[in-house]
Every structure is written in C-alpha cells, then in structure tokens.
Amino acid sequence: MASALGTRGPDTEGRWMKFNSARPFAATKLGRCPINCRNSVLMFKLKVFFKDAIGGSRMRMNALVWTVAIACMTPMMAQPASAANVKVTPLGGQDGEFCRQDRALIFEDPNGTRILYDAGRTVAGADDPRLGKIDIILVSHMHGDHLGDSHNKAPNSGSCDKPDVSVSALPNSNSVDIALAKKAKIVTGSEMPPFFAAKLKANGGDPKDSILARFGGSVKLGGVTIATVPAFHSNGLDPDYIGGELGRQMKEAGIAGYVGEATGYVLKFSNGLVVYLSGDTGITAEQDKVVHGYYKAKLAVMNMGDGFSTGPNEAAYVINDLVKPNSVIPSHANEVGTVGGKVRPGSKTETFVKAVKVPVHIPLSGKTMEFNGNGKCVAGC
Ligand SMILES: [Zn+2]
C-alpha cells in the first residue's frame, strides 16, 4: 500500500518528491528530474488530485505513479554524453596511439572554454588543425618537452617511437607561438609569467595575457578556476630561449635561467569536476595534503615515465594512496605506450595500469573522452 509509506514522483520544479497519498502536494525534496518530464509531472499531479477528489481506484493511481517515475528515471540512469561533461582530447604524435613525446591535452569546459595543457612537441605549431579555438594555455614548467622547443612537422609525422619534431620553435617556444596565434592567455605559476609576458610583448602580443597563479591562490578564467600546486622537479630555462650575448654566455657557462619552481595544476570546471595535472614531479606530501585534502581532485593526469619524473610504480602510489581520484589518465610515458590503440605488453604504461586501483584511461591521440563532475568517464573511454 502506498498510503503507509507514500509514493515518489517529481514536482513541477523538476525535483523528486516523496508524495503522501493523503496529502499529494506535501512533499520532501529528494533530487532533480529532467526538464522534459515536467509536463508529465503536471498531468500526474492533476490526475492524483481528481482521483482523490472522486475517490478513484488507488491501485490505478499507483500504476500511474510508477509509469511517470520510470519515464523520468530512464534518461537519468543512462548517463548519456551530455553538455555537462568536460571533454579531454589528447594531441599526441600518432592518431589513436599513446606515444613517446605525448604530453598535450585539450580540456573543454561544458561552457566551451578550451584549455591547452603542456603543448610540448606533438602539437604541430599554431597551425595544427587539431587545435581549433584555444582560450588558455598552461605550461607546467620550462623543459623543452613541455614548453615546446621544437615540434612535429605535421600531425602523425615520424613514428610513435621517433616522432619527427624537427621544426624548431626557438627562441619563442611552441606554447608562445600558439598563444600569439590564438590570442590565448598563458596561466603559469612560480616566476614564469614575466618570461611569457616578455615573449608576448616582443612578438606584438599583449603582455597582460600572461597571468600569474602562484601556489595557494587561483584565477578564474572562462568559468574555470585555475590553481598551481607544487611539483618536485627542476625548472631551468634553456639559454636558447634567451638568445643574444647573454644567452651565449649562459650556454657557455652551462647554466639555465631561473624561473622559480616547477608546478602542477588543479582545475575546477563549471560542472564541478576538479582535475589534478601533476606536471613532472616526484612523490610529494602536497599530493595528499593539498591536491586530495583541500582540492579533492576527482580526475588526475599523472606523469609516469620514470627517470625524469615518478615511474609507473611511484605514480601508482600517488594515485592509490595520496591523490585518490575516481579515475586517472597517464601521461609522459617516454615510450611507445600503445600499439594499435592497445597497451603494449611489457611497457611502463602496462605496469602503471596494473598497479592502479581506479579506472585508467589511456590518452589515445585524437580520441575525446568525456568526464562528469565526479571524475567518471561517461563517453569515449
Ligand atoms: Zn621536466
């Protein structure tokens, strides 16, 4: 009998309500219902009213309640790809593969804001047709494989193991060239913003498009909140970006320019998704205390190539015990990670996949993945 426990149905505001059959309009908020069932809801409430008014069959009323409830719940349970998801598209060296130099990812907020993370060498310059509109560029640190000292001749040039990155981007860098062409803002932490401001200005851009987000603070651009977090690495600026007599003397002395600490990022998108981008780093206490404890990241992009950053087992520890996201995308493998789109047996990528306890989504170049606000991949994985 529904009269003892009440019956669930949606109200005209689209909320799920618990109806008391004796008082059909006295209800408790339970959640939201899709907009497209609101007309059905109105019909439902009118029928309940008339049935009660004329003392109609309670069994028939219950059948109607369940019909409306199931009609409303079906689209909610299906979790289709929708405008409320964040789209992640890798721009790697070879279509459909995870390759040696791959770092670049595009994040697209549900509101259309597009963010390029660590363009590196696999984005084939500012004219790469895969880029499209870019609003914001992130650079975790100044090493050439992230900032982009050179780049692919074109998408898919060379091989997965040996990409053809023979086009020099010095002294500007791939990241700066793309920012200038797209009129994008560059958001960095540490002491990096003045370098980017100077490069933009020297090439006819607006130095104000280089924006600081230093540890502990954040900036909000295009509906996305961007914070930087510590990465334990190094961050010397190669004298080739400086050039001139100063650059020549620094190169001769074997020293790099000081631009502060390397960074990672935490992004919060408009659907609530919080993403951790590790950058190149070792294991840090902040991955627990800051990235997990404070920001509560639900999706992580974790560098796991060993030698230059955490290896696959260290990176798996970071994910399992420190950041604890709901899913992870490996990055910076420095190897052929996949063959034919499948993880290569014996690879570091395979070691990482096996050691991690949450779903691992391999960044196959050109394949867009969609994540909901809780960090679950709901399409393209
Ligand atoms: Zn590095």
CA of 61 to the centre of ligand 1 (A): 66
Which pLDDT value is given to residue 287? 98
CA of 20 to the centre of ligand 1 (A): 62
pTM of the model: 0.79
Which pLDDT value is given to residue 85? 98
Which pLDDT value is given to residue 36? 42
Which pLDDT value is given to residue 42? 42
Coil, helix or strand at residue 76: helix
CA of 56 to the centre of ligand 1 (A): 73
308 exposure class (CB count in 10 Å sphere: 0-12, 13-18, 19+): middle
CA of 144 to the centre of ligand 1 (A): 8
Which pLDDT value is given to residue 368? 98
Q: In what order do the strands lie in the sheet with 7-10?
A: 7-10, 15-19, 29-32
What percentage of the chain's residues is helix, strand, coil (to nearest 5)? 30, 25, 50
The list of the chain residues with pLDDT below 70 reads 1-83
Which pLDDT value is given to residue 83? 67
> What CA–CA distance (Å, rounded) separates 191 from 259?
5
CA of 146 to the centre of ligand 1 (A): 7
CATH 3.60.15.10 maps onto the chain at 86-379
CA of 123 to the centre of ligand 1 (A): 17
- Torsion of the alpha carbons at 46, 47, 49 and 55, rounded to the nearest 10: 160
CB 45 within 8 A of CB 36: no
CA of 194 to the centre of ligand 1 (A): 20
CB 133 within 8 A of CB 106: no
Which pLDDT value is given to residue 58? 54
CA of 324 to the centre of ligand 1 (A): 24
Check if CATH label 3.40.190.290 holds for domain 86-379: no
